[in-house]
Structure 1
């Protein structure tokens, strides 16, 4: 996939520059050690114009991620959101995926950064995992131990395990991988949160084991609005295999249903599941086809 061309602009340290002409620091900790933080946002073309969904929440989390790893964050989020809208306009994008990245300055020592840079890029990108129901497998790669790193922060280097798990799943003929935590419970997919349905209730792993996805929280908020029981608890592999249905959530993937896990096919027709109802409600929410102020 081509993410930019000769006419594409990015936002870099206060200026709009051509992506093809932007230089890279080859002596930064972000390149050598994965010492950086990033976010993923989506802009949608609505009848009110282009709208970035939950922009404040995403940029606030970006700041918290930087603070969690002692990476300087010197920007005003309201200004960054305004610059992001300008970036979309500069690239003539009404709907897009947006990637802010905070990366360190030159420093080859294993010490906290004293300076940092910001990059914001945007490109057209459909749902990350497509729109068809997914074939998923459990991975031999574990979700990082909460005591080994800040798993609540969106840190660049922590996504190596996601790359390995997803790549292995695809080699086996699946679409995505599910990762276990250090205690053997299902944590989440490589880069998405997991929900399962059983007896007209939704279940999802607790926050202390998974990444605190903004889309995950949106699903929980929607359940409360729709009076759907949502329970956060540890989930075993058997819980997932014997569920009535399941789905994944994430900004890039949005809401996507699961057809099967480890070869076990869910018997419930997806269109009649709670997940499908949430998927439809979420789409209306991001497109502002109904008043979402009551939810967020």
Structure 2
């Protein structure tokens, strides 16, 4: 699904065949989830391949490593260029890109002395599909911000996401919604949440969620479109009283939410602010022709 015998990956400065690449089974990342990663998208445009916010993603990768004391002996600009080359070598235009910083063999809990970096890419449609989602409020909550560096995109944090996603799917839902440790609405397992009420957008404040790059893009688009967005602490009842809602993330892009648990949102998706932003986002990342209702970043 992700590679074949001809697929190349970038590994510590070299382009090598994915099926022949290997890592040490004693890696601290494998045993403890002590690593950091990113998700980046590339889009085919009339002017060639567009890697959306590549620099921002690699700067966040570096920040994630720094937050959890993983060395980062890599240059952002070199990683950006390596990504462009990787896409060319694999003949990819519409692609999902996954950089991963992983640690050397280490069975202790001390920070590593040496790390490696891998970048791979593959064709991948929108992670959550293209239809509106039926979402379940999970019994799994986000970790307390004093228990982990919640703003780091760290490998081990996603056990929490896997538990919530599978709980929701096992009960017949498309995806989960996690609350924070105080019971306020947080985010999806791999996407940030926005909801609409009376012509305004609302989204959980930073502190208990991952500061998503797509989330930041939605703020930029909303500002240019004259849409007011309020950050804050919101209860599940606040969300259930909303007119509409959507998730956003690099993998998911912008995807509407039809219902939370058994409660369906009253506003039709085509009439929602989420749909307006979904269209604007699609045009920005693909650099398509602007209309009066769209914006550029």
**Does the TM-score normalized on the shorter chain lie above 0.5?**
yes
Runs of 4+ in 1 over 4 A off after TM superposition: none
Does the 8 Å contact 1:59/1:77 carry over to 2? Answer: yes
Query: Residues 131-142 of structure 1: matches in 2 within 5 Å?
Result: 131-142=130-141
Aligned to 2:142: 143
User: Could you tell me how far 1:189 is from its partner in structure 2?
Assistant: 0.7
Alpha-carbon separation, structure 1, partners of 2:281 and 2:216? 12
Query: Residues 119-134 of structure 1: matches in 2 within 5 Å?
Result: 119-134=118-133
Aligned to 1:156: 155
Aligned to 2:48: 49
Alpha-carbon separation, structure 2, partners of 1:209 and 1:239? 17
Aligned to 2:31: 32
The alignment covers a number of residue pairs equal to 293
Alpha-carbon separation, structure 2, partners of 1:236 and 1:48? 44
TM-score, with structure 1 as normaliser = 0.97
Alpha-carbon separation, structure 2, partners of 1:217 and 1:235? 19
User: Could you tell me how far 1:259 is from its partner in structure 2?
Assistant: 0.4
Gaps of 5+ in 2: none
Alpha-carbon separation, structure 2, partners of 1:240 and 1:189? 13
Alpha-carbon separation, structure 2, partners of 1:226 and 1:177? 29
Alpha-carbon separation, structure 1, partners of 2:108 and 2:256? 44
User: Could you tell me how far 1:290 is from its partner in structure 2?
Assistant: 5.0
Structure 2 SS opposite 1:75 = coil
Alpha-carbon separation, structure 2, partners of 1:229 and 1:57? 24
User: Could you tell me how far 1:206 is from its partner in structure 2?
Assistant: 0.2
Aligned to 1:165: 164
Query: Residues 1-296 of structure 1: matches in 2 within 5 Å?
Result: 2-290=1-289, 296=297
User: Could you tell me how far 1:242 is from its partner in structure 2?
Assistant: 1.1
Alpha-carbon separation, structure 1, partners of 2:229 and 2:192? 14
User: Could you tell me how far 1:295 is from its partner in structure 2?
Assistant: 5.7
Structure 2 SS opposite 1:243 = coil
Does the 8 Å contact 2:284/2:296 carry over to 1? Answer: no
Alpha-carbon separation, structure 2, partners of 1:157 and 1:94? 30
Alpha-carbon separation, structure 1, partners of 2:34 and 2:58? 18
Gaps of 5+ in 1: none
Structure 2 SS opposite 1:151 = coil
User: Could you tell me how far 1:107 is from its partner in structure 2?
Assistant: 1.1
TM-score, with structure 2 as normaliser = 0.97
User: Could you tell me how far 1:81 is from its partner in structure 2?
Assistant: 0.7
Alpha-carbon separation, structure 2, partners of 1:197 and 1:51? 30
